[in-house]
A and B are shown apart, each in its own frame.
Chain A
Amino acid sequence: MNIHDEMSDADVLRAAADCLSTIPMPSAPDTAAIITTGRARRRRRVTGLSIAGTAAVTVVALGLSGAFGATSHQPLGATRHRPGHPAHAQLAAWTVARLADGNISVTINQFKDPAGLERTLRADGVPASVTFGSQRNPACHPYPGGTLSPGSVPPPPLRPPPLLKQVFPQPYRHVGPPPGTGPARMVKATGPPSPPPSGNRTAIVIDPSALPRNAGVQLASSNAAAAALLLPVVVYASAQCTG
């Protein structure tokens, strides 16, 4: 008898199942956490759609004048811009928009007016500290799992820690040497999938619902000229740091 005849398809599948079943599995998360997250997102989706509709009407009513100033706060829900849209003719230094899923999108075209951005984020319910081109706020302390510890040797794991990934759900780009070849220098959160306007910009998405109760975000660019470099970190919320 050929040895290959000894194992039926069912035997092979059973062997595969047995083998895969030996892999230790993490225990299931708390159902309540799943339900709470889902419920919050569902609520935000409904609210976001409603706000988006209102915002769209408002934008049309204003005649799309392109009058967003350097520190303008885009209308909530204005999540997508058509390419060539007049609103892009005069780009704001940065814009903040609430997406339909409740997340907050921050798009930075020029690293100007960090205080204005900080105020806007706080007004949208995100405890935030923003510094461009200056020393980061020393009153801010990283929240566990909320930073990639740039510059550390050996380089940090390529996968952001879970909290960082949840609060900043968009992917990260490594702006340093290839992994494993030297110390990591900096990471950059990259933007939402909508096509970028002309010129460089930095965009990140913040999921406020993923922030622990006593946490906020810190957006810091040590060099305003190197506009691409932005380090988003989850920090402990405090009056001195995140307002």
Chain B
Amino acid sequence: MSNEQAEFTEFFQASWEPCLRAVVAVVGSSQPAEDQVAEAFTKAWMSWRAVRQHPAPRAWVVRTALNTGASWWRRRSRELPLADHEMTAPGDLASGLDATLLTAIWHLPRRQREVIALRIFLDLDTDTIARQMRIEAGTVRMHLSRGVAALRHELTSNKTTEASQ
């Protein structure tokens, strides 16, 4: 095995799960997310010399996976009015507070979900997220702030309900 291949293998094994979780957080289902992330890692290997020097290779993978998904979706949406989206019902994955929170996360606007996913699964700072998403750092802060506020509202409402019962 070449050094390049060994390096990629190490990166792949360490990054598969966080990247997949980040993409699932955005797209809302593990099935298409898995395909998208596998495709993104394939592209990463095809351009490994560039990707390995990227300041945030995992973020590159997530970005590529999301772009791939958008591209697939665009093609499909142009051709067919099939599934509006492929999100998994939160109730299928969790119950109670977790299901409520999942519902809240997947009801956030996509940009907010992306910012939150990049923050919690790839531990990226605001500036890096901004570069990855090609938006201003201030916009990232706004998305993060609004997303967190919405989730906090959901969490605290749930706690209040539980307390009153």
Q: B42, A16: Cβ atoms under 8 Å? A: no
Q: B residues within 8 A CB of A39?
A: 45
**CB neighbors of B among A148-172 (8 A):** 158-159, 162, 165, 170-172
Alpha-carbon separation in the docked complex, A112 to B30 (Å): 42
A22 within 8 A of B: yes
Q: B residues within 8 A CB of A173?
A: 79-80
Q: B45, A35: Cβ atoms under 8 Å? A: yes
A15 within 8 A of B: yes
Given contacts A34-B12, A34-B38, contact A3 B21 (CB under 8 A): no
Q: A residues within 8 A CB of B21?
A: 20-21, 23, 25
Given contacts A17-B121, A38-B42, A42-B46, contact A22 B93 (CB under 8 A): yes
B152 within 8 A of A: yes
For B32, the closest partner residue in chain A by CB is A159
Q: A158, B83: Cβ atoms under 8 Å? A: yes
A138 within 8 A of B: no
A41 within 8 A of B: yes
A13 within 8 A of B: yes
**CB neighbors of B among A1-45 (8 A):** 3-4, 6-7, 9, 12-17, 19-26, 28-29, 31, 34-35, 37-39, 41-42, 45
Q: B5, A35: Cβ atoms under 8 Å? A: yes
Shortest CB–CB separation between residue A173 and chain B, in angstroms?
5
**Total B residues in contact with A, Cβ cutoff 8 Å:** 54
B82 within 8 A of A: yes
Q: A20, B120: Cβ atoms under 8 Å? A: yes
Q: B148, A9: Cβ atoms under 8 Å? A: yes
Alpha-carbon separation in the docked complex, A190 to B72 (Å): 12
Which of B24, B32, B120 lies in contact with A23, CB distance below 8 A?
Answer: B24
Prevailing SS type, chain A contact patch: helix
Which of A3, A16, A28 lies in contact with B13, CB distance below 8 A?
Answer: A28
Q: A4, B120: Cβ atoms under 8 Å? A: no
Shortest CB–CB separation between residue A9 and chain B, in angstroms?
5
Q: A residues within 8 A CB of B46?
A: 38, 41-42, 45
Q: Which of the four size classes fits the interface of chain A?
A: 35 or more
Binds A, one of B52-60, B94-102, B132-140: B94-102
Given contacts A26-B30, A170-B75, contact A162 B35 (CB under 8 A): yes
A interface residues (Cβ-Cβ under 8 A, vs B): 3-4, 6-7, 9, 12-17, 19-26, 28-29, 31, 34-35, 37-39, 41-42, 45, 158-159, 162, 165, 170-174, 178-179, 190, 193
B interface residues (Cβ-Cβ under 8 A, vs A): 5, 8-9, 12-13, 16-17, 20-21, 24-25, 30-32, 34-35, 38, 41-46, 72, 75-76, 79-83, 86, 93-94, 97-98, 101-102, 105, 116-117, 119-121, 144-145, 148, 151-153, 155-156, 159-160
A to B CB contacts below 8 Å, 28 in the list: A3-B159, A3-B160, A4-B152, A7-B156, A9-B144, A13-B119, A16-B105, A16-B151, A20-B21, A20-B121, A21-B21, A23-B24, A23-B94, A23-B102, A24-B30, A25-B21, A26-B30, A26-B34, A28-B13, A31-B9, A31-B12, A38-B46, A159-B32, A165-B35, A171-B72, A171-B75, A173-B79, A193-B75
